[in-house]
Chain A
Amino acid sequence: MTQLPTHTEKKLGLVIDLDTCVGCHACVVSCKGWNTENYGAPLSDQDPYGADPTGTFLNRVHSYEVQPDQGVAQLIHFPKSCLHCDDAPCVTVCPTGASYKRVEDGIVLVNESDCIGCGLCAWACPYGAREMDADQGVMKKCTLCVDRIYNENLPEEDRQPACVRTCPSNARHFGDLADSESDVSKLVAERGGIDLMPEQGTKPVNKYLPPRPKDTWDQIDILAPLLDPVAEEPKGFLGWLDKTLEKL
């Protein structure tokens, strides 16, 4: 099974809007909550009240500063979870077959009962999308909430990943990226969605929508007619007022 399917019927994945993400970590914690209670072993925490707390998370939000050649620096919040790559190196390195990519929807999963916890898949992933659970010794990764998106115990509208459902600013979108007519595919087309580390050849399914151009007003010329003075001082202004009110 560590062979990759040559073709998946769907390519389910996330589209993350870097123009909209405010870096609130809501998706991080809802993911932690859902996946602690659901799929596989709980996401454990070591030394949770101590000097060096660590734990397993499947989704983390970085932040970067970007300094353009001209003008002020920008700050970009950057959520990152498994990108469910088409050419997933994490799958092919797995010696046990625990890691696999689903034929029907392309979700990359770890079958925990087969995982020996060798860590090789995490080494093979360029994105840091896999974390070994220190308590159970099995590899953890984003499941694309496979236990939500088809879950008949959930109302239809809730059959989406926990992180998407919770994102307050609607910066996360879920759908089938194989279907060019899907909302996510259209978003990617419209906003020029990109791959992370394309040179790694992983062909990620998840896409990132780049931030829109910022601080562009520094470049435009003043919208002159809009601010043509009607008067420079109070007297003149009151004269203008007289005239204007007559017209009203």
Chain B
Amino acid sequence: MHPAPSIILFTVLSGLGFGLLFWLGLGFPPVTGFSAFAFFTIAYLLAIGGLISSTFHLGNPQRALKAFTQWQTSWLSREAWLSVFALTFMGLYAIGAVFFATRIAPLGWIGSALALATVYATSMIYGQLKTVPRWNHPTTPALFLLLSVSGGALLAGQVTYAIGLLALSGVLQAVVWYLGDQRFAERGTTMETATGLGNIGQVTAFEPPHTGTNYLLKEMVHVVGRKHSRKLRIISLALMVVLPVLLLLLPFSHALAAVAVLSHLAGVLASRWLFFAEAEHVVGLYYGIR
């Protein structure tokens, strides 16, 4: 799939934002007043910034509100609703914490649950797609959620949790890559099933239907070289997990924590870039590209 910057930013930033909200809702850290204001602002900027960024991917963003209508079937629609709910509940909770120095715990719990649900919905936009075998697996929401809460923990200054969760996401990330590399073949969609010509013999693409490119190729057929991908995976893992964990293990300082956050962010961006760039859509088979 084409790694569109707007979508990478959207999923990463909103994941981080909702991750932070998740922790704040549970009272980690139990902030009120100005520090609550600061935390919530960061969380909202990330979550809303991500959501806004996603609209850059739309052909007709002015109609974006219509995306709320199909919650019964569409994960995108559900994500829209859930994010609004999450932001609303968390907003009420934040108002209490910031202005009245009261944390209405049940509101926070609901908000946290909704924040997670939002991230889950986001991940399911991709995870539901049978057409992209690499994504179409429970590990997709698992990794999205884990990264979201790890990043959230990092931002929320929950060092212990963060270390544990980061390590866990590192492991899951590795598993996801390993399993993902095989899934296209496992699912059994091939040029033979795509064309129905397999009973005659081995199928190869001859001429494409057009010599130029088209929307499908630009959007869904993106080939990353294996070497390139290996390099990026290592970089991503190092930045996303290894470096932040190392930094967190050092005696705490705000500067180091900030570096850890930035490193993690860069790592997740790289991981998310790979998430899209390495995802092969079955339509590539029609063009003989896999």
Also in contact, A93 and B76, with CB within 8 A (given A114-B66, A196-B195, A200-B130)? yes
Q: Is A21 an interface residue (CB 8 A)?
A: no
Q: Which chain A residue has the least Cβ–Cβ distance from B282?
A: A126
Q: Is B216 an interface residue (CB 8 A)?
A: yes
Q: Is B86 an interface residue (CB 8 A)?
A: no
Q: Which chain A residue has the least Cβ–Cβ distance from B211?
A: A53
Contacting residues of chain B (174-232) with chain A, CB-CB under 8 angstroms: 187-189, 191, 193-197, 199-210, 212-216, 219-220
**Which B residues are in CB contact (< 8 Å) with A117?**
58-60
Q: Number of residue pairs across A and B with beta carbons under 8 Å?
A: 200
Q: Is the CB of A64 within 8 A of B189?
A: no
* A64→B57 CA distance, assembly (Å): 33
**Which B residues are in CB contact (< 8 Å) with A55?**
214
* A115→B61 CA distance, assembly (Å): 10
**Which B residues are in CB contact (< 8 Å) with A144?**
none
* A98→B77 CA distance, assembly (Å): 12
* Among B69, B76, B132, B209, contact of A61 (Cβ-Cβ < 8 Å): B209
Q: Which residue, B68, B201, B205, has most C-beta atoms of chain A within 10 A? A: B201
- 20 residue pairs of the A-B complex, CB under 8 angstroms, read A52-B212, A54-B212, A63-B209, A64-B204, A64-B288, A65-B205, A66-B203, A80-B209, A80-B286, A93-B125, A96-B67, A97-B69, A116-B67, A123-B131, A124-B129, A132-B59, A137-B58, A137-B60, A200-B189, A211-B200
Which A residues are within 8 Å of any B CB, using their own CB?
Answer: 1-3, 18, 25, 28, 52-57, 60-69, 73-76, 78, 80, 89, 91-98, 114-120, 122-128, 131-134, 136-139, 194-201, 208, 210-211
Which B residues are within 8 Å of any A CB, using their own CB?
Answer: 1, 57-61, 63-64, 66-70, 72-77, 80, 125, 128-132, 187-189, 191, 193-197, 199-210, 212-216, 219-220, 281-283, 286-288
Return the 7 tightest CB-CB contacts between A and B, nearest first. A117-B59, A137-B59, A60-B209, A95-B76, A68-B201, A128-B283, A95-B77
